[in-house]
Amino acid sequence: MKRIGLLTSGGDCQALNAAMRGVVKSLSVSGEDVEIYGFLNGYKGLIYANFRMLTGADFSGILTKGGTILGSSRTPFKTIREPDENGLDKVEAMKHNYHKLRLDCLVILGGNGTHKTANLLREEGLNIVTLPKTIDNDLWGTDMTFGFQSAVDIATQAIDCIHTTAASHGRVFIVEVMGHKVGYLTLNAGMAGGADIILIPEIPYDINKVVLAINERHRRGSLFTILAVAEGAISKEDAALSKKELKEKMKSYPYPSVSYEIAEQITQKTGQDVWVTVPGHTQRGGSPCPYDRVFASRLGSEAGRLILDGEYGFMVGYKNREVVKVPLEDVAGKLKSVSPDASIVKEAKMLGICFGD
Ligand code: F6P
């Protein structure tokens, strides 16, 4: 008999349910007797012992379902050691509930912040297996995270739709793609949607270079321009500021997001109106794409194997087209980001895409 806790933490994404289904199916197909404790709304469920007993039936029919059947929330790692408003020690509470329920292990699905807490729980002696979810694909130790390909599809569709109207009207459009720190999603959706300019956090932009690219297109007879801009795109000037200076500057930042600032600057410098479209959380929503369904199922199945073999303390990841186990201590606290020297960036530049650098 295995007693397994399951939780999904952080921003949701597509294929969380597919991954959990993969874990539970692989365990039940093995014939192992399992009890599943589904903690609700992320780590909060574990802290406050808010859980539901789940059976195989709960995981039936959820392969294609978006969101997470367990609910999710963000529990910031930086305050995890601080007592809650009632003085409760959150880490001790999680350990207490784990031991009280006599769990054999916890399966935790999450992104960067989630992995820091998962590793902390491992250090505190709990048996942990994690699965890498995020539309940002910014988890260290895995070439791919589930949710990413589905989000690329959605952001690409947004750019495709903007493309036709931009071309009809000869307009400049910015599509703002999710990703505060990392630009994989913007880069991939931008390339897939044929964006002319792609601005990502890892490659600070010079607005004059952006304007030059728009003017050059105009000169060659292309009256419209599509910019794919990451939420976290940053100008060269801002990138040169210290963290403290930037924080200070952002206190009186007058724009809803960076895209609106870029739009205003382009208008000032070219005289052209610029339209901004923000697909926002649609990028995290809806049914997972077929790639993510397969991918998350594979990772879930491997998590099931690790549990059956009693191998704990790992994230199930994907390296060089193989499903692998990566020690949690190697993953926690590291960010995977787009290298400005990556071949995909070079190839995009060869296609004439401007990165504003
Ligand atoms: O981490 C995934 C992500 O969707 C990022 O791309 C985005 O910047 C952020 O979450 C948005 O967070 P929230 O849903 O809390 O606004």
346 in a domain, yes or no?
A: no
Q: How far is CA 60 from the centre of its chain?
A: 25
Domain-embedded: residue 351? no
Residue 355 lies in a domain: no
Please tell me whether residues 134 and 213 are part of one structural domain: no
Residue 63 lies in a domain: yes
Residue with tokens 């007879």: 221
Distance CA 337, CA 201 (A): 9
**Structure-token pair, residue 267:** 């208008």
Reported confidence tier of residue 250, pLDDT bands at 50, 70, 90: very high
In-domain check, residue 217: yes
Residues 185 and 263 in one domain: yes
CATH number for position 218: 3.40.50.460
- Determine if ligand 1 sits within 6 Å of the CB of residue 179: yes
46 and 87: one domain? yes
CA angle 213, 149, 324 (to 5 degrees): 125
pLDDT tens for residues 264-273?
999 999 999 9
- pLDDT, tens only, 311-334: 999 999 999 999 999 999 999 999
Which residue minimizes the CA distance to atom 5 of ligand 1?
A: 179
Q: At 338, is the secondary structure helix, strand, or coil?
A: coil
CA distances from 243 to 201, 240, 247, 250, 333 (A): 14, 9, 6, 11, 18
Q: How far is CA 340 from CA 187, 228, 242, 301, 343, in A?
A: 11, 16, 21, 34, 9
- In percent, the amount of the chain with pLDDT more than 90 equals 100
255: confidence class by pLDDT, cuts 50, 70, 90: very high
Closest residue by CA, ligand 1 atom 14 = 11
Q: In 3-state terms, what secondary structure has residue 324?
A: strand
Task: Assess whether 184 and 116 both reside in one domain.
Answer: no
Atom number, ligand 1, closest to the C-alpha of residue 179 = 6
Averaged pLDDT of the chain: 97
Report which ligand 1 atom has the smallest distance to the Cα of 180: 8
Whether residue 35 is found in the same domain as residue 141? yes
pLDDT band at 57 (very low <50, low <70, confident <90, very high): very high
**pLDDT bucket at 285, cuts 50 / 70 / 90:** very high
Are residue 141 and residue 270 in the same domain, yes or no? no
211 in Cβ contact with 270 (< 8 Å): yes
- The pLDDT of residue 29 is 96
Q: How confident is the model at residue 257 (pLDDT cuts 50, 70, 90)?
A: very high
Question: Which entry of 12, 33, 104, 136 is annotated as an active-site residue?
Answer: 136
The finding on whether 202 has its CB within 6 A of some atom of ligand 1 is no
Decide whether any atom of ligand 1 lies within 6 Å of the 176 Cβ.
Answer: no
Our mutation pick for probing the ligand 1 site, out of 13, 77, 135, 184, counting the most ligand atoms within 8 A of Cβ, is 135
Same structural domain, 143 and 153: no
Task: Give the domain range for residue 212.
Answer: 149-284
- Give yes or no: 330 in active site: no
Residue 323 domain flag: yes
User: What is the arithmetic mean of pLDDT over 115-143?
Assistant: 98
Residues 7 and 141 in one domain: yes
284 lines ligand 1 (CB under 6 A): yes
Where residue 280 falls among pLDDT bands split at 50, 70, 90?
very high
CA distances (Å), origin 26, targets 66, 296, 303, 307: 21, 13, 9, 10
Same domain, 215 and 249: yes
134 within ligand 1 shell (Cβ under 6 A): yes
pLDDT, residue 245, reads 97
Cβ contact 105:307 at 8 Å? yes
* Same domain for 132 and 9: yes
If asked whether residues 243 and 302 sit together in one domain, one would say no
Ligand 1 centroid – CA 235 distance (Å): 21
Please check whether residues 138 and 156 belong to one and the same domain: no
Residue ranges in 40-126 assigned as alpha helix (H): 43-47, 90-100, 112-123
Using the 3D structure, point to which of 251, 284, 317 is the last residue of a domain.
284
Domain count across the chain = 2
What is the tens place of the pLDDT at every residue in 180-224?
999 999 999 999 999 999 999 999 999 999 999 999 999 999 999
Residue 244's pLDDT band (boundaries 50, 70, 90)?
Answer: very high
Query: 13: pLDDT confidence band, cut at 50, 70 and 90?
Result: very high
The two three-digit tokens of residue 230, written as one number: 């990451």
Whether the model clears a pTM of 0.85, i.e. scores above it, the answer is yes
> What's the pLDDT score for residue 354?
98
Which residue among 136, 139, 181, 278 is best mutated to probe the pocket of ligand 1, counting the most ligand atoms within 8 A of its Cβ? 136
Is any ligand 1 atom within 6 A of the Cβ of residue 349? no
pLDDT for the residue numbered 115: 98
In the chain, % of residues over pLDDT 70: 100
pLDDT computed for residue 7 by the predictor: 98
